[in-house]
Amino acid sequence: MVGALLAAGQAVARPYGERVTETTLDNGLKLILLEDHKAPVVVFQLYYRVGSRNERLGYTGLSHILEHITFKGTETVAPEEYSKIIQRNGGRTNAFTSQDNTTYFAMLASDRVGVVIDLEADRLAHLKVTDEQFLPERDVIMEERRLRIENDPVAELFEQLASTAYAAHPYQFPIIGWSSDIAQATLADVLAYHRTFYMPNNAFVVAVGDFDSAALTAKIREAFSPIERGPLPPNVRAIEPAQHGARRVELERPAQLPFVAMAHHVPNLLSPDAAALEVLSAILAGGDSARLHDELVYRSRLARSVGVSYDYTAIDPGLFTVYAQPLPGRTAAQSEAALTREIERIRRQAPSARELEKAKNGIESSFVFAQDSLFYQGMLLGEYELSGTWRRIDDYLPGVRAVTAEDVRRVAQTYLSPTNRTTAVLIPNPPIEGPAGGTPPSPAGID
């Protein structure tokens, strides 16, 4: 275990700032390239700086709809042919939409990366969609929403939590969109959205793997340079006002078990408090020996699962959410009371030195081991670039290591206050037969 950690640590001993090549083409497309020659493969990711954060009332879900529509073909590539071409070349591909971005990615053998580069440049410049293609795909997305949200009471609860916690910021919108907005979306809406946000100067490429950076830059330049830059999309001006009182929402849905989630407004990595919030997250829910699991699952036998969600790299300040699903026979009120006790405990008393060290070690080992994944390294570069610059990655572990026990207590005292809290409770009504509960939504977004 220690030997493996040291070996992985040696692989990332050099800072990202020394290993990444950054280039910006004349049309504004930024290239972030990281050579990693341990296997003859390349992960290619194309990020567009558009997600549900960029949407507005009545037009939610457009980012995700457009993600689907871009697979409908171009003047030279037939509908749905994109993925088949990648597969014929031995690769795999997909895409996802989040609050902050829409990302297309593929993993191929090193000598085939030119295939995805040409395909991505083609669909950026020559997207071609008709109503005959759009309308059935809109129905597919409606069905996706029914499956992922409306038939999953926990996912629907998290949707209600966000829409209650935010008063002004578009983070209140579901990534997949409200059902009524999806139903009334038109092809004209989607194509206008494409013209507004899909342009080289609102995008960037991340590539990680077995390639020569100069040669890959030349290939990307050849494919994308003919695409002209466009006018920059409008900024997101909304700033969430401070919350000055508890908020609460209850959702009644057929389910076997209740669920409770408590969200608090917190800053992102641009704040000096962000590293302490990361450590706080690990102390509360960083494994089976962390506080919430130890108290609610192991000792009190109140909950079947617990967790914390905190998006460190969100573009705008987000939520720090603690949640629990009670065991059969236990109530949401019991879990809510237990979560509240644990929050108040960390607000009053700093963690022990041993607890702090364990949390930091867990964060560091997770970060180091993840470097073995080309895809993870690409995601890391992409998420940091979206939040400002990928260069901040090298500040992450030093920031975590510098956190003190008092820092953890202070950020808990500051941000996890009752007046900064939105509580969402799932009330099973009526009980039905079937799989217990549901699962919290994936932080990766909707694909």
Helix spans in 98-151 (H): 113-126, 131-145
Identify whether 67 is a catalytic site residue. yes
How many angstroms separate the Cα of 389 from the Cα of each of 17, 90, 270, 386?
A: 11, 32, 11, 7
- The radius of gyration of the chain from alpha carbons, rounded to an integer in Å, stands at 23
Q: Which of 55, 67, 120, 383 is catalytic?
A: 67
Burial state string for 17-29 with b = 16 or more CB within 10 A and e = fewer than 16: eeebebbebebbb
CA-to-CA distance for 70 and 80, rounded, in angstroms? 9
Angle between helices 353-370 and 405-415 (to 10 degrees): 90
How many angstroms separate the Cα of 93 from the Cα of each of 53, 74, 295?
A: 24, 17, 41
CA-to-CA distance for 250 and 308, rounded, in angstroms? 20
DSSP assignment letter at 127 = B
How many angstroms separate the Cα of 201 from the Cα of each of 33, 220, 278, 365, 389?
A: 17, 14, 32, 36, 15
Contact 103, 96 (CB under 8 A): yes
DSSP assignment letter at 38 = S
Catalytic center residues: 67
